[in-house]
Amino acid sequence: MLSKKNPEMEIGRNSSLYFAIGLSIMLFISWQLLEYKTYDKTDIAYDMVNMEEVFEEEIPVINVNAPPPPPPPVAIQESIKIVEDVVEIEETIIESTESNQSDKIAEPVSVAEVAVEDVEEDVEVPFAVIEDIPVFPGCETGSKREKRACFQAKMEEHIAKNFHYPEQALDLGIQGKVFVIFVIDKDGYVTGIRSRGPDKILEKEAERIIKLLPRMIPGKQRGRPVKVPYSVPIVFKYMAS
């Protein structure tokens, strides 16, 4: 039995296509509605610019007193007068300034006796090369070699007698060798004491020992007292108990 419906007239066969087209149209209309913007007309100002009236500003004319132009240069007419050369000119003789044996020399001037003062030079002579070394009290007699040995012995005796290990250095465990440099001046006094060691505490103690040195007979070079620099090491070493 054949169907009476015409397949070409069936409405439901393209329903999915029509649905898709309708959905797209609805989405487009919804998007346009969301993007549509409105403005409040009260916030819009309607101003008009009147361009008919033109204001022309009057610029005052200022008269500037300009200086007049300089006058044109005047042509100077030079008059040349020819004069006959009738005056004889005498030539100048230039004499030589060199002297010869016939020239007279000025008389010699007598010079009075000039007093010459001896200026003492402040020099330092090292202890190793000085002619007469400083004499430590108690070393006045003997030869130069014996005085030198006596000086060193007295120096060691003085250091051992006045040596004192600082308590602070003992507590901190500080030890080492301190080199002390000083100068025996022209009057036999000890001056210019400087020291270099591992710590300021030891340096201060070493300088104290040297300051206790007695006055000496100053060293002499060519029979004159001079300054003599001297250096001595002082060893600070403690024994662990």
Residue 167 lies inside a defined structural domain of this protein: yes
Query: What is the per-residue pLDDT across 6-54, written as a single tens digit (0 to 9) for each?
Result: 656 666 667 788 888 989 999 999 998 888 877 666 655 556 655 555 5
Within a domain: 92: no
Contacts of 194 (CB under 8 A, 6+ apart): 180, 181, 182
Query: How far apart, in whole angstroms, are the C-alpha atoms of residue 126 and residue 146?
Result: 18
Q: In which band, very low, low, confident or very high, does the pLDDT at 73 lie, cut at 50, 70 and 90?
A: confident
User: Which CATH number do you get for residue 159?
Assistant: 3.30.2420
Residue 150 falls inside a structural domain: yes
164: in domain = yes
For the entire predicted model, the pTM comes to 0.49
Residues 50-71 have pLDDT tens digits of: 555 555 666 666 666 767 777 7
Residue 170, domain member (yes or no): yes
Confidence (pLDDT) at 178: 94
Q: Are 190 and 218 in contact (CB under 8 A)?
A: no
Q: Which residues pair with 194 in a beta bridge?
A: 181
Q: Is 229 helix (H, G, I), strand (E, B) or coil?
A: strand
Contact assessment for residue 225 and residue 186, using Cβ atoms and an 8 Å cutoff? yes
Range of the domain at 222: 144-236
Q: Note whether residue 123 is domain-resident.
A: no
pLDDT in the model for residue 187 = 93
Which of 66-80, 107-121, 185-199 has the largest mean confidence?
185-199
Averaged pLDDT of the chain: 80
Q: How confident is the model at residue 238 (pLDDT cuts 50, 70, 90)?
A: confident
pLDDT digits (tens, 9 = 90+) for 136-187: 999 988 898 999 999 999 999 999 999 999 999 988 989 999 999 999 999 9
Sheet holding 176-184, edge to edge: 190-196, 176-184, 228-236
pLDDT value, residue 20: 87
If one counts the domains in the chain, the total is 1
In a domain, 76, yes or no: no
Given this model, what pLDDT does residue 116 score?
56
Instruction: For residue 65, tell me if it sits in a domain.
Output: no
CB distance 218 to 188 below 8 Å: yes
